[in-house]
Amino acid sequence: MKLKSSVVNFHIFTKHLSTTPNSSFFSTSDGYLTRDAQINKSLSYWNQLGAPKLIVAPMVDNSELPFRILCRKHGAHAAYTPMLHSRIFSENNKYRLQEFTTCKEDRPLFVQFCANDPETLLKAARRVEACCDYVDINLGCPQRIARRGNYGAFLMDKLPVIKSLVEKLAYNLHVPVSCKIRIFPDLQDTLNYAKMLEDAGCSLLAVHGRTRDEKDGKKFRANWDAIRAVKNALKIPVLANGNIRHMDDVKDCLEHTGADGVLSAESLLENPALFAGFKNVDQRDLVVEYLQLCEKYPVPWRMIRSHVHKMLGEWFRVHPHVREDLNNQSKLTFEFLYDMVNRLHELGDTMPLCEGTILETVYEDKDGVQVRCAES
């Protein structure tokens, strides 16, 4: 797919930035800021960004530009890119052009990398710093691929490596560094870890309230108590992640943890309008809006296919033959997808509510009147 002019070409920025190599987020003309001044700068930077509360979590192959814009149009205040591999990103032009695109409406933006080598991470980060608000380090990926590649949550066994990654970015980039972590089984270990990150120069911390072994988000509830303890122990802004399925969860989570904002992932894939509440949302219309954004901001078809499946999952359960037709298309086209949505419209509105993860129970009240009751 060809990139269009509305999509940022970040080579231009790289060239521009290389003219000011000695300044950074934490430096002044006299040297580096004191730790207290760094924290104050981190806090005022966050406030200048508008202290975003409702945030699209990083998702490989799923938090790409058109999806981020869709979520922003429906209530999200900020968004993470999918995790990018720092070594491949710094070496491979094709990977960069395909896996990272952005545009002027795509702010505030966190660009996330996985890494285990500070120099390589810095090289990758320098290529994006002019078109994002934070460079984020993925310290939470628990997948086998992260174990093999020695990154993500497997660096929790190598805290000095993590410290060197954070310090490298904090003292060399023009934008602040953020981190996304998982918790340790032991609370004190988690608090020591979070404090170490803050001391190393991390300006913003997202805490996924599950341990490295709690991979299945549907099976393990996120530990909001641990997130609250981290929030209380740190001075930098802290974001809570895990179990944000609808706006009631947002309210409960912010109250419970005291966090500065929340990240949502899986539930947002089913309902990209989650942060707008659930009023009058039809997933079919959201799919059309998403496809239009994909025409404007091209992305690989595998991402589009994945979103269509997730957004229309409930419809496909009711009309499985439409899903089969989709699965039989080895090569997708926009024409086919728009047609498919039209077919779903023609099949009528007998779908369960288009309310993402909210289910309805229908029962009869004492007068025999059917009552619909949403359950979370």
Q: Where are the alpha helices (DSSP H) in 174-319?
A: 187-200, 224-233, 247-257, 266-270, 283-296, 301-311, 313-318
Whole-number Å distance between alpha carbons of 81 and 66: 11
223 near ligand FMN (CB under 6 A): no
Q: Please pick, from the candidates 8, 57, 166, 202, the single residue that binds ligand FMN as defined by CB under 6 A.
A: 57
CB 173 within 8 A of CB 129: yes
Residue 274 or 294 having the CB closest to ligand FMN: 274
293 near ligand FMN (CB under 6 A): no
Whether 71 sits among the annotated catalytic residues: the reply is no
Binding-residue total with ligand FMN (CB under 6 A):
22
Q: Please pick, from the candidates 156, 170, 194, 244, the single residue that binds ligand FMN as defined by CB under 6 A.
A: 244
Query: Which of 42-50, 55-63, 330-338, 355-363 is the region at the interface with ligand FMN (rule: CB under 6 A)?
Result: 55-63
Min dist CB 148 to ligand FMN, Å, is 16
Total residue length of the chain: 376
Residue 140 or 356 having the CB closest to ligand FMN: 140
Query: Which of 195-203, 228-236, 259-267, 335-343 is the region at the interface with ligand FMN (rule: CB under 6 A)?
Result: 259-267
* Catalytic, out of 131, 132, 141, 354: 141
* Contact string (CB under 6 A) for ligand FMN, positions 88-127, x = contact: ------------------------x---------------
DSSP 31-43: EEPPHHHHHHHHH
* Contact string (CB under 6 A) for ligand FMN, positions 120-149, x = contact: ------------------x-xx--------
The one-letter code for the residue type at 254 is L
* Contact string (CB under 6 A) for ligand FMN, positions 261-280, x = contact: ---xxxx-------------
Min dist CB 113 to ligand FMN, Å, is 10
Choose among 144, 359, 373: nearest CA to 267. 359
Whole-number Å distance between alpha carbons of 166 and 173: 11
Distances (CA, A) of 123 to 134, 135, 214, 360: 15, 12, 32, 50
Choose among 134, 122, 127, 114: nearest CA to 55. 134
59 near ligand FMN (CB under 6 A): yes
Choose among 11, 16, 46, 71: nearest CA to 259. 46
Whole-number Å distance between alpha carbons of 134 and 125: 10
Query: Which of 59-67, 187-195, 352-360, 363-371 is the region at the interface with ligand FMN (rule: CB under 6 A)?
Result: 59-67
Min dist CB 349 to ligand FMN, Å, is 28
Min dist CB 206 to ligand FMN, Å, is 8
Residue 197 or 265 having the CB closest to ligand FMN: 265
74 near ligand FMN (CB under 6 A): no
Whole-number Å distance between alpha carbons of 164 and 53: 29
Judged on CB neighbours under 10 Å (0-12, 13-18, 19+), 157 is exposed
212 near ligand FMN (CB under 6 A): no
Residue 120 or 267 having the CB closest to ligand FMN: 267
Q: Please pick, from the candidates 54, 65, 69, 83, the single residue that binds ligand FMN as defined by CB under 6 A.
A: 83
Q: Please pick, from the candidates 52, 66, 176, 242, the single residue that binds ligand FMN as defined by CB under 6 A.
A: 242
Choose among 208, 226, 166, 192: nearest CA to 42. 166
180 near ligand FMN (CB under 6 A): yes
Min dist CB 28 to ligand FMN, Å, is 32
Min dist CB 217 to ligand FMN, Å, is 4
- Packing angle between helix 301-311 and helix 320-327, nearest 10 degrees? 170
Choose among 166, 157, 158: nearest CA to 138. 166
Judged on CB neighbours under 10 Å (0-12, 13-18, 19+), 29 is exposed
Q: Which residues bind ligand FMN (CB under 6 A)?
A: 57-60, 62, 82-83, 112, 138, 140-141, 180, 208, 217, 241-244, 264-267
Which residues are known catalytic residues?
Answer: 141
